[in-house]
Chains A and B, each alone.
Chain A
Amino acid sequence: MTSVLLKDIKVELNERTILNQINMELVEGKVTTIIGPNGCGKSTMLKTISRIISAKEGGVYINDMDIRQMKSKEVAKKVGILSQKNRLQYDVKVRDLVSFSRYPHLKRFQSLKPDDYKIIDWALKETGAIEFSERMMSELSGGQAQRVWISLLLAQGADVLLLDEPTTYLDIHHQLETLNIVRRLNEQTKQTVVMVLHDINHAIKYSDHLIIMDQGEIIESGHPTDVLTNDILNNVFNINGKITIDPLTGKPILADYDLFCQTVKEVQHGS
């Protein structure tokens, strides 16, 4: 198991504070979802954990080791990230792309070994991407491409998987498909999963643990049933939402929502 601890993290981008005083420990072996309004620092949090962005103050500790003192490849063996914008500037065959995942496990000048090929095959099969593994990325639909990216993340073999908006740009069917893959893999492999989602109902349905962020700070964290309240929706997202209990699942569900103020159209009609 791999523990990840964030201590007093402060991140600034262009002299603007994005994350402020973040202290938390990732819940090992569970699915955690971060929700919050645009610009609240959700993605920055994932990027900080995976060293894409470095913190101005504080530190990220993997198994009590400061990531700045770890070798890059060692961090990559522990933490993998699926970025939000995975647009490829250059085209590549699916299998070749997924084979990049084994990079942290290779020494300098070393090429892929038979074991690496087995892991790549396993990852492609787990997501179903094996069907189109000989095709080019440019030929795939959004849902297919996302399965390839998840295969890449799986084959990297990290204990901690970070997924930044894995469902963006996908239709509802492929959103659920992607999230089901994540959920199933978490149950099989007991990897720690942290993802950023925008859909509150998806967050409830697929996570064991929920983190609500606003303006660079963690507002609430805990079991979805405990932390999601009408007040939170009201304060954090500035919407008039109604959380009720779904009679079928017994879980909370965001049943109805609207903005507090009148929409622009109504204002115009009124005047």
Chain B
Amino acid sequence: MDRKWYPLPITLMGILLSFVVAMMFGTNTYTLQQVLGVIFTLDMTDQAHQILYEIRMPRVLGALLAGFMISISGLVLQSVTHNDLSEPSILGINAGANLAIIVGALLLPTLPFIGVMGVGFAGGMLVGLVILSLTRYRSPMHLILAGAGISLLLYAVTDFLVITFGLGQYVAFFTAGGAAGQSMSNIVLVFPIALVLVAVLLFLSKELDVLLFGDEMAVSLGQNQTLYRRVTLVLAIMLASMAVAMVGNVVFLGLLVPHIVKMLFGNMHRFTIIYTGMLGAMIFALSDMFARVFNETPVNAIIAVIGLPFFIYIIKKRGRKYA
């Protein structure tokens, strides 16, 4: 077995550990016994158990799930576009999903969560495709300019709608990004879909490998590039849009996590997809925990603070020599 699978048990333990830690710390701190009690001997007459079970656990699980989806989405977008700067928010996918969700909420105020996700996906898809066709999958500079420009425009339209129709409360958290207000029913809905999408991506990992190494390689090996580019893009945009429906516009995570993983584990997707998902889940759940500890600081700011030093350390230590 490849030695790159050896850290897998450690990462699984890391997920469990970050779940427990994120359950313990927040606005109020609970003991390890209380957290374990919620899992093994739930007692709904106990007030601490009640808060942990009904409010904090959905939030922590939601953060793990969203981090998992956003990071894998970023990884796939980077590979398909051959662009180290790709991630859902830079490509405007988040802004598109966000606007579509707001429009959806205006037109159909009683839209159930699955409808919100569907609408978000349509919006994300539309904007993603517009930007990719403008930049023709290439040129990092154009991608950034087109993505930033269209995102700004869409957020301006979103703000206009929000102010005009007095949607402030409903919307504030989408734009800021954050894992507050999760419900178990949403998580139970999203989790299996996310697992299926990621499983398909894992099955397509050799296609992503060949796509990553460029047009000539793909043609000379007989790959149907158009097909696999489209399929993987749609999967990535679905993951990102579901994440927006859950936690709003989270930036930087989809850029940071895949790069950390690629520097540690190389570029082959059979490794990077799994490790990116797990590390993304951990980082987002812990960032959300710090957000709670620091009086609901925006989670985007926390991700930047936690992620950046690690990112800089790895760039300095490894340089361009990926493992």
Contact = CB atoms under 8 A, between A and B. Distances in A.
A156 B221 contact: yes
A100 B213 contact: yes
Interface in A95-110: 96-97, 100-101, 103-104, 106, 109
B267 A92 contact: yes
Contacts, number: 70
Interface in B111-144: none
Interface string B78-117: 0000100000000000000000000000000000000000
Interface in B264-300: 266-268
A101 B268 contact: no
Interface string A76-99: 110011010000111111001100
B76 interface: no
Contact of B221 (A88, A96, A103): A103
Contacts of B82: 89
A90 B321 contact: no
B222 A103 contact: yes
Contact of A50 (B215, B219, B223, B266): B219
A75 B216 CA distance: 14
Contact residues on B (Cβ < 8 Å of other chain), bracket: 20 to 34
Interface stretch (B180-188, B203-211, B239-247): B203-211
A100 B217 contact: yes
Given A52-B216, A89-B214, A111-B206, A104 B320 contact: no
A126 B214 CA distance: 26
Interface in B210-261: 210, 212-217, 219-224
B170 to A, nearest CB: 42
B250 to A, nearest CB: 26
A96 B268 CA distance: 8
A80 B220 CA distance: 6
Interface in A193-209: none
Nearest to A74: B222
Nearest to A47: B216
Contact of B210 (A100, A109, A136, A138): A100
Contact of B268 (A76, A92, A139, A156): A92
Nearest to A78: B222
A73 interface: yes
A101 B320 CA distance: 25
A33 B319 CA distance: 41
Give the secondary structure class of B's interface: loop
A103 B223 contact: yes
B25 interface: no
A234 interface: no
A51 interface: yes
Nearest to B219: A52
B321 A91 contact: yes
A71 interface: yes
Contacts of B203: 109
Interface string A95-138: 01100110110100101000000000000000000000000101
A109 to B, nearest CB: 5
Given A92-B266, A138-B320, A138-B321, A72 B212 contact: no
Contact of B222 (A76, A90, A109): A76
Nearest to B212: A90
B266 A72 contact: no
B220 A91 contact: no
Contacts of B266: 91-93, 96, 136
Give the secondary structure class of A's interface: mixed
A146 to B, nearest CB: 16
A103 B210 contact: yes
Nearest to A138: B321
Nearest to A87: B214
Nearest to A51: B219
B220 A81 contact: yes
A76 B223 CA distance: 9
A151 to B, nearest CB: 14
Select the residue from A92, A97, A103 with max chain B CB neighbours within 10 A.
A103
Contacts of A51: 219
A88 B213 contact: yes
B214 A100 contact: no
A156 B220 CA distance: 10
A81 B203 CA distance: 27
B322 A136 contact: yes
A187 B222 CA distance: 27
Given A93-B266, A100-B217, A136 B222 contact: no
Nearest to A97: B213
Given A50-B220, A71-B222, A104-B221, 5 more contacts: A76-B222, A92-B268, A103-B210, A103-B221, A136-B266
Interface of A: 50-52, 71-77, 80-81, 83, 88-93, 96-97, 100-101, 103-104, 106, 109, 111, 136, 138-139, 156
Interface of B: 82, 203-204, 206, 209-210, 212-217, 219-224, 266-268, 320-322
- Give the 5 A-B residue pairs with the shortest CB-CB distance, closest first: A76-B222, A72-B222, A73-B222, A103-B221, A104-B222
23 contacts: A50-B220, A52-B219, A72-B223, A74-B222, A75-B222, A76-B222, A77-B222, A80-B220, A83-B216, A89-B214, A90-B212, A90-B213, A90-B267, A92-B266, A93-B266, A103-B206, A103-B210, A103-B222, A103-B223, A104-B221, A109-B204, A136-B321, A156-B221
